[in-house]
Amino acid sequence: MDAQRARTLLDEIRAGQVVVCDGAMGTMLHAAGVSLDRSLPELNVSRPALVRDLHAAYVNAGARIVQTNTFGANRLRLAGSGLEHNVSEINISGARLAREAVARAGHPVLVAGSVGPAVSAPAVRRVPASARAGSLREQVAALCDWVDLLILETFGDLESLIQAVEVANSESDLPVVAQLTFGDDGRTLRGEDAAQVAGVLSDLPVIALGANCTVGPAVLLGVVAELAGNTQLPVSVQPNAGVPQRLGGQVRYARNAAYFGEAAQRFVTAGATLLGGCCGTTPAHVRAICQAVAASSPVARPVTAASAGARAGGPVVIRAVQQPEPAWPWEDELVVAVGLQAPNGAQVAEFLEQATALRATGAGVLAILDAAPPAARISPVGAAVVVRERVGSEVLLPVEAADRNLAALQADLLGAHALGIRMVVCRTGSPRVAGDYPLDPGGSPWDVDSVGLIAMLSALNEGIDWRGVATAERTRFVIGGAVHTAAGELASELDKVEAKLRAGAHFLVTDVIYDVEQATRALGMLRARGVTLPVLATLAPFADIRTLQRLSYEVPEASIPLSVLAGTARWQRRHQEDPEQIIEFAIGAVEKLRHLISGVVVHVPGGVNEQAGQLVSALARLRRPGSR
Over the stretch 551-572, which tens digit does the pLDDT of each residue have?
443 444 545 555 554 555 555 5
Shared-domain flag, residues 250 and 378:
no
Nearest-angstrom CA–CA distance, 237 and 268: 10
What is the reported pLDDT for 540? 84
Nearest-angstrom CA–CA distance, 103 and 513: 71
* Domain end call among 277, 312, 347: 312
- Cis-peptide into 374, omega within 30 deg: yes
* Domain end call among 244, 278, 312: 312
Residue 497 lies in a domain: yes
Cβ-based burial of 544 (10 A; exposed 0-12, middle 13-18, buried ≥19): exposed
Q: What is the mean pLDDT of each run of 10 residues along the chain (628 residues)?
A: 76 92 92 85 96 96 97 94 95 97 89 94 81 96 96 94 96 96 89 94 96 93 95 96 71 84 94 95 95 83 51 40 76 88 81 91 88 62 89 90 82 91 88 44 57 91 81 90 89 94 94 89 95 93 55 46 52 54 84 93 81 88 61
Query: What are the backbone angles phi and psi of residue 365, rounded to the nearest 5°?
Result: -140, 145
Closest by CA to 220, choosing from 210, 231, 233, 230, is: 210
Helix (H, G, I), strand (E, B) or coil at 212: strand
Nearest-angstrom CA–CA distance, 55 and 171: 26
Quick: pLDDT tens for 335-394: 999 988 888 767 888 889 999 999 999 999 999 986 554 456 678 888 899 899 999 889
Shared-domain flag, residues 298 and 403:
no
Nearest-angstrom CA–CA distance, 342 and 387: 10
Nearest-angstrom CA–CA distance, 361 and 352: 14
Shared-domain flag, residues 388 and 256:
no
Shared-domain flag, residues 247 and 179:
yes
Residue 436 lies in a domain: no
Residue 526 lies in a domain: yes
Residue 25 lies in a domain: yes
Shared-domain flag, residues 364 and 294:
no
CA 144, 149, 152, 153 torsion: positive or negative?
A: negative
Nearest-angstrom CA–CA distance, 83 and 109: 30
155 lies in which domain range?
A: 3-312
Shared-domain flag, residues 303 and 343:
no
Residue 328 lies in a domain: no
What is the reported pLDDT for 70? 97
Shared-domain flag, residues 47 and 162:
yes
Shared-domain flag, residues 387 and 279:
no
Shared-domain flag, residues 138 and 60:
yes
Residue 183 lies in a domain: yes
Nearest-angstrom CA–CA distance, 58 and 54: 7
State if pTM tops 0.75: no
CATH classification of the domain holding 421: 3.20.20.220
Strands (E) across 477-570 are located at: 478-483, 507-512, 535-539
What is the reported pLDDT for 322? 54
Residue 400 lies in a domain: yes
Judge whether 508 and 481 are in contact, CB under 8 Å. Answer: yes
DSSP of 575-605: HHH-THHHHHHHHHHHHHHGGG-SEEEEE--
Residue 321 lies in a domain: no
Shared-domain flag, residues 104 and 234:
yes
Q: In the chain, helix, strand, coil percent, each to 5? A: 45, 15, 40
* Domain end call among 312, 344, 360: 312
Shared-domain flag, residues 263 and 406:
no
Task: Please count the structural domains in the chain.
Answer: 2
Helix (H, G, I), strand (E, B) or coil at 69: coil
CATH classification of the domain holding 180: 3.20.20.330
What is the reported pLDDT for 470? 74
Strands 245-247 and 250-252, bridge-based pairing = antiparallel
Shared-domain flag, residues 137 and 254:
yes
